């Protein structure tokens, strides 16, 4: 029960890593606000958590739309009265080699993966500041720390997430808010469905653990950074990649 009585907002909480994290956080005593634009999966996830005795609610929002995010944040605060932890986990890919990358696909990935993190943080930060304590965890990627072929847009957004993380750690640390990032390697979710088996095999061979990561691997890192155990950790990027060779 490392998060007893804490209110956690998790974006992209309807599927993949976010959904696994929502359950793990709930099992650790937190109340969960699942934010996602996938209404069907988000409602189903909230219902599953209820059935496990976890207090959870679904809030539909597109994180790239600042007005939509403000409305969502108002509803979350109305329902739960506070927010202790924000996990900026929602993300998409639209991969293409640099010369073939359409500008719309460049912009959409920046809008969701970078501006989305900005929008949600700006919407929830005032409440955290008024509480004098809060934790923000941003999801970056090893593509953001090291680049990745075919991911100009995604790598730019995820590197930007690290820049914002370190900036906010400096801006808000004195006010009791710590801000950290997690940089997952290749994790078994729908997001990597488009990667051919052959490439996945090569990725495993580049990983000392010779396997892909699981959503649980990342959720456990979120849990540590969300818990009081990480109170003196601020502005860091925690790599969850099995020690993948870069
Ligand atoms: P996923 O595709 O399984 O889940 C992403 C969730 O975000 C979905 O529920 C989707 O509906 C939601 N979402 C997407 N765009 C949204 C928007 N505009 N507004 C609200 N919700 C939106 O992906 P996964 O793997 O769980 O990814 C979670 C995070 O981890 C992402 O930020 C991703 O970039 C990051 N990550 C994933 C890796 C992987 O190998 N799966 C590796 C490194 C980072």
Q: What is the overall mean pLDDT for the chain?
A: 98
Residue 202 per-residue DSSP state = H
User: Class of 7-237 per CATH?
Assistant: alpha beta
The set of catalytic residues is 154
- Does ligand 1 lie within 6 Å of residue 219's CB atom? no
Task: Write the CB contacts of 196 (distance below 8 Å, at least 6 apart in sequence).
Answer: none
pLDDT digits (tens, 9 = 90+) for 134-143: 999 999 999 9
Instruction: Please say if the pLDDT value at position 246 is more than 80.
Output: no
Q: For residues 95 and 151, is the Cβ–Cβ distance under 8 A?
A: yes
Counting from 1 in the atom list of ligand 1, the atom nearest the Cα of 42 is 9
pLDDT digits (tens, 9 = 90+) for 176-212: 999 999 999 999 999 999 999 999 999 999 999 999 9
CA distances from 127 to 7, 76, 87 (A): 12, 11, 15
ipTM of the complex: 0.99
- If you take atom 31 of ligand 1, which residue's CA is the nearest one? 91
- Does ligand 1 lie within 6 Å of residue 38's CB atom? yes
Please compute the mean of the pLDDT values over residues 65-81 and round it to a whole number.
98
CA distances from 153 to 23, 91, 109, 112, 199 (A): 30, 12, 6, 11, 20
């Amino acid at each position: 029960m490392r998060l007893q009585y804490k209110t956690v907002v998790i974006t992209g909480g309807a599927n993949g890593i976010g959904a696994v994290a929502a359950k793990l956080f709930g099992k650790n005593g937190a109340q969960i606000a699942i934010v996602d634009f996938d209404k069907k999966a988000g409602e189903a996830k909230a219902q599953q958590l209820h059935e496990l005795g976890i207090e959870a609610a679904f809030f539909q929002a597109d994180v790239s739309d600042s007005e939509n995010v403000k409305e969502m944040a108002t509803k979350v605060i109305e329902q739960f009265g506070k927010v202790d932890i924000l996990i900026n986990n929602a993300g998409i890919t639209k991969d293409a080699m640099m010369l073939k990358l359409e500008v719309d696909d460049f912009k959409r990935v920046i809008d969701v993966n970078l501006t989305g993190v900005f929008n949600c943080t700006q919407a929830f930060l005032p409440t955290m500041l008024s509480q004098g304590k809060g934790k923000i965890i941003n999801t970056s990627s090893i593509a953001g720390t090291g680049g990745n072929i075919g991911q100009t847009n995604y790598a730019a957004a995820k590197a930007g997430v690290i820049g914002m993380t370190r900036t906010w750690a400096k801006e808000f640390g004195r006010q009791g808010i710590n801000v950290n990032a997690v940089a997952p390697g290749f994790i078994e979710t729908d997001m990597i469905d488009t990667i051919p088996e052959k490439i996945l095999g090569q990725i495993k061979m580049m990983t000392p653990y010779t396997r892909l990561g699981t959503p649980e691997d990342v959720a456990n890192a979120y849990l540590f950074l969300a818990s009081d155990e990480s109170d003196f950790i601020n502005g860091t990027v925690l790599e969850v990649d099995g020690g993948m060779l870069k």
